[in-house]
Amino acid sequence: MRSLGKGLNLISALILGAITSLICTDVILRLFRYPIPGSYDITELLTSLMLSFAILRSFQDEAQIKIDLIDRVLKENELNMVNLFSRLVTAFFLAILSISMIYSGLNSYISGEVSMTLRIPLYICYIAIGLNAGIASLNETLPILRIPQEAMTKLPKLGRERI
């Protein structure tokens, strides 16, 4: 799962480079009165893809926002329970996001929804976001499933565990 996160993050970085190149090229060409048609559509679609590909690595590196105030107040075992609950809630909401985005993508495909200028099909982005959210949900769930039943009384530090 770790190598998948690195690979998706690399794709995200390449997309970011493409977006930067597109914007710079469009700005330069606008000086000569030759803007790139549909640059807004391309930028919007690539940005949504870039963010969806970066979700998994963000969760693997624990780069999401968290509040350290709770860490100072609770004991280690209580903190582990909070981390377990946090992972379960995160996995649940990521699973809901995944299902709803894939559903929206299928509806977009059926209805033939496309971007305004270039007529790019939008279902590709919806489904990509849904699949990446689903993979991130699995990433949050797998460490919980690996806890042996006898160890449930002594919960491991789920926040620092890597797959």
Q: Is the pLDDT of residue 151 over 60?
A: no
Tens of pLDDT along 40-88?
A: 999 999 999 999 999 999 888 877 666 677 777 878 888 888 888 888 9
> pLDDT grade, residue 146 (50/70/90)?
confident
CA angle 27, 32, 36 (to 5 degrees): 50
Half-sphere exposure of 47 (CA within 13 A, CB side): 9
Tens of pLDDT along 8-23?
A: 999 999 999 999 999 9
Query: Which residues make beta-bridge pairs with 41?
Result: none
Please tell me the distance from the alpha carbon of residue 135 to that of residue 95, in angstroms, as a whole number.
Answer: 9
Q: Is the pLDDT of residue 163 over 90?
A: no
pLDDT of residue 67: 65
Tens of pLDDT along 77-136?
A: 888 888 888 889 999 999 999 999 999 999 999 999 999 889 999 999 999 999 999 999
For residues 30-45, average pLDDT: 93
**CA Rg, the chain, in Å?**
20
